Amino acid sequence: MIWNEHHECMGRDQLASLQGERLRQMVERIYFNVPFYRNKLQEAGIEPGDIRTVDDLGKLPFTTKQDLRDNYPFGLFAVPQEDIVRFHASSGTTGKSTVVGYTHNDIMMWSEVVARSLTMAGVTKHDIIQVAYGYGLFTGGLGLHYGAEKVGASVIPISGGNTMKQLQLLEDFGSTAIACTPSYAAFLGESIQEAKLDPSKIKLKAGIFGAEPWTEEMRNQIQQLLGLKAYDIYGLSEVIGPGVSMECGMQKGMHVFEDHFIPEIINPDTGEVLPYGELGELVFTAVTKEALPLLRYRTRDLTRLHVDICECGRTLVRMEKCVGRSDDMLIIRGVNVFPSQVESVLLEMSETKPHYLLVVDRQNNLDTLEIQVEVEDQFFSDEVKELEGLRKRISDKLTSLLGLHATVRLVEPGTIERSQGKAQRVVDKRKLS
């Protein structure tokens, strides 16, 4: 099943001409509506008329997450506030999250790409889908929700967590599809076993899993535990949210919806565009977005693109699972975490010094984040309640900033390794790829 055969199976030449036209219009829009982009284009000596085909993309400057932060909250928007119908945001360093906005048309386009994605996983109006991604500022919940409604499926907007309720609805409603993070899917699968539910009552056939890195081993494990076929969905809020690319039934990479998001692979050090098949940093240009058009946005995700035609019939390029990052961002339970965020919290608190270590692990299939902080002489109290209070204050601050529960562990001074040059701030014990 293909949701939009016209756009998903378009000839490559025809697609390139569509992309070129959309790129031309987008450059014009941002040049006249976004001062940041106008300055950037002028610095690069580019006038809107210089961009005529998709091959001109390489002449254009990159946009980074830092640009979004510097223009917090609405500086990169290309439409006035009255045209914005929704915001989403990802966590950022203190007070500065990455804010994205959507016009009505943007929401329609997003629903369209998610509808295409769900169709790839075989979801139709005959399905009941449990959306167990978090609803809220995070794009996962509402993104899947609108796409599933577009497909006509019956949506259960249960959001994340609340595992006992999830299990009950799986059983009572007979949900046939579920969308959540892969680690939560595995956790649910184990909970089904522990609760000794009758497996024949679980009707799941498709799982749409994304927002964090996962392996083929995890896929097998989830498929076995939940008795479904597990599909990988990719997205990032800056570009749109989930639904930038999605795996089809062949499971040979994720098809990028190139009519909306033009992908490139670059050398992260030089910015040079690399040919198909080579490993590099993934860059997207969101050509149809109205509220927040993105010009050559550097995702920092490392992967490869393949252009050979897929057996499913789609002509869209496929991207491999991301193999890593070209920066130090961690993805923990679907939440983006930068070590610098932790540092900013510790620097803000007078009692602590920024000697810390992030320990990321996966226990019972759920990611855990422990932050080790050194106890300094000057704030060491010999009363347990004081130290526990300090630990709780750090933990509360981090949890609210990161949007993710962080366990704080106090350690002895000098035990966190100081290295010459770049400090080792992260120990990631999750076994991925």
Residue 411 CB, shortest distance to another protein, in Å, is 6
Burial class (CB in 10 A: 0-12, 13-18, 19+), 23: buried
Q: Give the nearer residue to another protein in terms of CB position, either 410 or 423.
A: 410
d(CA 55, CA 16): 9
Please identify, using beta-carbon distances, which residue of 49 and 413 lies nearer to another protein: 413
Distance CA 341, CA 201 (A): 44
Question: Which residue, 311 or 412, is less far from another protein as judged by CB?
Answer: 412
Q: Which of 287, 280, 253, 284 is nearest to 265 (CA)?
A: 280
Nearer to another protein, 236 or 390 (CB): 390
Instruction: Tell me the closest approach of the beta carbon of residue 317 to another protein, in angstroms.
Output: 48
Output the six-digit token pair for 210.
């994304």
Residues present in the chain in total: 433
3-state helix, strand, coil split of the chain in percent (to 5) is 35, 25, 40
Q: Which residue has the tokens 């992908």?
A: 263
Of the pair 216, 386, the CB lying nearest another protein is at 386
CB 371 within 8 A of CB 399: no
Please answer whether residues 20 and 52 qualify as being in contact, where contact means their C-beta atoms are separated by less than 8 angstroms. Answer: yes
Nearer to another protein, 301 or 374 (CB): 374
Give the number of other Cβ atoms within 10 Å of residue 304's Cβ. 19
Q: Which contiguous run of DSSP H or E holds residue 374? A: strand 366-374
Give the nearest distance from C-beta 356 to another protein in angstroms: 15
Binding site for another protein (CB under 8 A): 375-377, 380-384, 387-388, 409-415
Nearer to another protein, 59 or 409 (CB): 409
Question: Toward another protein, which CB reaches closer, 308 or 386?
Answer: 386
Residue nearer to another protein on the CB measure, 152 or 413: 413
Q: Which of 325, 329, 331 is nearest to 339 (CA)?
A: 329
Joined tokens for residue 150: 């577009």
User: Least distance in Å: CB of 110 to another protein?
Assistant: 44
Neighbours of 271 (CB within 10 A): 14
**Residue 128 and residue 124: Cα distance in Å, rounded?**
9
Burial state string for 380-410 with b = 16 or more CB within 10 A and e = fewer than 16: eeeeeeeeeebbeebbebbeebbbbebebee
Strand 154-156 and strand 128-131: the pairing is: parallel
Nearer to another protein, 308 or 376 (CB): 376
Minimum CB distance to another protein, residue 429 (Å): 18
**Cβ at position 372, least distance to another protein in Å:** 10
**Nearest distance, CB of residue 354 and another protein, angstroms:** 17
Our CB check for another protein shows the closer of 47 and 396 to be 396
Q: How far is the CB of 397 from another protein (least distance, A)?
A: 18
In the complex, the smallest distance separating the C-beta of residue 388 from another protein, rounded to whole angstroms, is 7
Burial label, 327 (beta-carbon count in 10 A; 0-12, 13-18, 19+): middle
Place of tokens 């300090």: 390
Q: Rounded to the nearest whole angstrom, what is the least distance from the CB of residue 373 to another protein in the complex?
A: 11
Q: Is the peptide bond before 73 cis (omega within 30 degrees of 0)?
A: yes
Closest distance of CB 412 from another protein, Å: 5
